């Protein structure tokens, strides 16, 4: 059976768009699908760390974040009054801009590179033949009939709730830790700087990021399910925090709250014969480190390189090679991210860290630089 495309990329977030762009620039016939109508909102802290920007630069895509607000580092606070400002490094910055904008621009870049993009198309299922190789997809356009599409290689970049990874038994939300994020946008927040903010408290943390146009992104992450029943209340209570209340006194919520979770995704393997996973579909640890976009973009580069090999030489063992490459590149960062997640999940550890870090602020500064992938910038 002839393939309709060399590659079909499922999901047009940053991972999907970058994979589609790399493949299209290499001359592949690429189709990218997304169930959402673009541009679409995505719950996120809206900051790209220096390492993520470096990947964009490598593909001459820096203009997609060019009008984002420069981010010089992170301010970390604790309940007992800890406040440490960690700057990335002289001349090294991240950028903050709404994902709605960023993702739409990356889609445009993929289309300009030659990829075809169809939004409002739900990927319903992957078709796997008797040898265990993924051959195609069943897709359902919003206003049309379900149909089959075939490609020489498929890329699943359909995010942390990936239907593809779930159907193939490749990924799952682990029973623990289970955490949820509530996000909203505000206007009129006082006391913002050129740094993002992470306010770590006993049963939650609160990320605050200034965005262009006077907008401020606020994300609250908690594992307390009882708190989620009334999200506006959880958000309001979080912003009554001693270190935030004055700054939000004159602020107005202009969008939200939106809830997402469970957040963590564990992935057993980043693909099967004929299909490779990229971005959050292949695993996600926690938003706290603010490096999800860098990991998603880098994993898209790795998946696209394997996909090109599959297009040229046949699918074969691309998934196991991709697993080895991901392990070599990401294992240290995954360990770091898990360690930080474990720390903020324990009220006792948060309390002790609050005291300890007040005496050793350089530790926070080092953590901010590592989380920001400054070495990769
Ligand atoms: C609360 C929160 C805050 C965060 N803050 C930051 C931050 O400040 N900085 C940072 O770097 N990272 C942050 N992250 C992580 C970051 O958002 C993700 O790592 C990033 O979005 C991953 O990109 P992706 O392309 O893999 O997936 P996504 O951006 O989720 O894109 C997946 C796409 O797939 C589409 N899709 C899903 N299912 C289907 C289907 N069945 N058929 C067709 N299309 C489908 C979706 O519509 C979506 O467009 C945060 C995450 C959370 C939850």
**Residue nearest atom 6 in ligand 1 by C-alpha distance:** 45
**pLDDT tens-digit map of 8-61:** 999 999 999 999 999 999 999 999 999 999 999 999 999 999 999 999 999 999
* Ligand 1 centre distance from Cα of residue 41 (Å): 10
For residue 1, pLDDT over 80 is answered with: no
Angular region, 256: left φ>0, alpha ψ -120 to 50, beta rest:
left
Q: Is 38 helix (H, G, I), strand (E, B) or coil?
A: coil
**Chain position carrying tokens 């604790």:** 78
Share of the chain above pLDDT 90, in %: 86
For residue 316, pLDDT over 80 is answered with: no
**Residue nearest atom 18 in ligand 1 by C-alpha distance:** 292
Helical segments of the chain, H only: 14-25, 50-58, 99-112, 163-167, 225-228, 231-239, 245-248, 292-313, 318-345, 347-359, 361-371
Output the six-digit token pair for 240: 């009554």
* Ligand 1 centre distance from Cα of residue 42 (Å): 7
Q: Tell me the average pLDDT across 235-263.
A: 95
The binding-site residues of ligand 1, defined as CB within 6 angstroms of any ligand atom, are 10-16, 33-36, 42-49, 52, 122-123, 157-159, 163, 181, 183, 219, 260, 263, 279-281, 287, 290-293, 296
Amino acid 348: pLDDT: 83
Amino acid 376: pLDDT: 87
Pocket test for ligand 1, best of 10, 11, 41, 285 (most atoms within 8 A of CB): 11
Average pLDDT, the chain: 94
Pocket test for ligand 1, best of 9, 44, 119 (most atoms within 8 A of CB): 44
For residue 315, pLDDT over 70 is answered with: no
Q: Tell me the average pLDDT across 97-125.
A: 98
**Residue nearest atom 15 in ligand 1 by C-alpha distance:** 292
Pocket test for ligand 1, best of 20, 21, 45, 262 (most atoms within 8 A of CB): 45
Q: Write the burial class of residue 276 (CB in 10 Å: 0-12 exposed, 13-18 middle, 19+ buried).
A: buried
Pocket test for ligand 1, best of 280, 297, 302 (most atoms within 8 A of CB): 280
Output the six-digit token pair for 270: 């980043």
Strands (E), 134-247: 134-141, 147-156, 171-172, 180-187, 195-201, 204-210, 215-222
**pLDDT tens-digit map of 62-103:** 999 999 999 999 999 998 888 999 999 999 999 999 999 999
Give the nearest ligand 1 atom to 284 CA: 19
Q: Tell me the average pLDDT across 126-145.
A: 96
Q: Tell me the average pLDDT across 149-174.
A: 97
* Ligand 1 centre distance from Cα of residue 167 (Å): 19
Residue 158 and residue 146 in contact, taking contact as beta carbons nearer than 8 Å? no
Q: Tell me the average pLDDT across 247-268.
A: 95
**Residue nearest atom 52 in ligand 1 by C-alpha distance:** 44
* Ligand 1 centre distance from Cα of residue 355 (Å): 34
Amino acid 286: pLDDT: 93
Amino acid 177: pLDDT: 87
* Ligand 1 centre distance from Cα of residue 46 (Å): 11
Q: Of the ranges 65-74, 142-151, 156-165, 311-320, which one carries the lowest mean pLDDT score?
A: 311-320
Of the pLDDT bands very low, low, confident and very high (cuts 50, 70, 90), residue 314 is confident
Amino acid 345: pLDDT: 82
**pLDDT tens-digit map of 295-313:** 999 999 999 999 999 999 8
Q: Tell me the average pLDDT across 335-358.
A: 84
* Ligand 1 centre distance from Cα of residue 200 (Å): 23
């Amino acid at each position: 059976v002839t393939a309709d495309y060399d590659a079909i990329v499922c999901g047009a977030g940053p991972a999907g768009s970058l994979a589609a762009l790399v493949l299209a620039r290499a001359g592949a016939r690429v189709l990218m699908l997304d169930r959402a109508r673009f541009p679409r909102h995505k719950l996120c802290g809206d900051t790209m760390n220096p390492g993520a920007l470096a990947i964009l630069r490598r593909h001459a895509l820096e203009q997609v974040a060019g009008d984002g607000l420069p981010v010089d580092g992170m301010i970390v606070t604790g309940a007992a009054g800890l406040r440490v400002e960690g700057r990335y490094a002289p001349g090294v910055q991240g950028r903050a801009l709404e994902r709605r904008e960023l993702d739409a621009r990356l889609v445009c870049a993929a289309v300009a590179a030659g990829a075809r993009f169809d939004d409002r198309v739900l990927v319903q299922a992957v078709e796997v033949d008797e040898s265990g190789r993924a051959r195609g997809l069943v897709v359902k356009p919003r206003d049309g009939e379900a149909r089959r599409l075939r490609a020489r290689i498929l890329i699943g970049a359909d995010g942390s709730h990936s239907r593809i990874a779930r159907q193939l038994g490749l990924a799952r939300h682990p029973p623990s830790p289970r955490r949820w994020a509530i996000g909203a946008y505000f206007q009129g927040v006082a006391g913002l700087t050129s740094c993002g903010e992470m306010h770590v408290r006993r049963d939650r943390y609160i990320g605050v990021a200034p965005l262009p146009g006077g907008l401020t992104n606020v994300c609250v992450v908690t594992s307390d399910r009882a708190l989620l029943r009334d999200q506006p209340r959880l958000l309001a209570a979080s912003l009554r925090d001693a270190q935030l209340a004055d700054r939000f006194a004159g602020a107005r919520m202009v969008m939200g709250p939106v809830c997402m979770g469970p957040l963590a995704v564990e992935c057993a393997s980043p693909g099967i014969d004929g299909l490779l996973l990229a971005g959050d579909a292949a695993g996600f640890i926690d938003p706290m480190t603010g490096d999800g976009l860098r990991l998603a973009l880098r994993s898209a580069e790795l998946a696209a390189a394997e996909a090109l090999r599959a297009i040229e030489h046949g699918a074969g063992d691309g998934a196991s090679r991709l697993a080895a490459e991901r392990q070599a590149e990401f294992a240290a960062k995954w360990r770091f991210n898990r360690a930080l997640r474990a720390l903020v999940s324990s009220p006792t550890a948060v309390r002790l860290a609050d005291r300890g870090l007040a005496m050793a602020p350089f530790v926070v500064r080092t953590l901010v630089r590592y989380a920001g992938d400054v070495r990769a910038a």
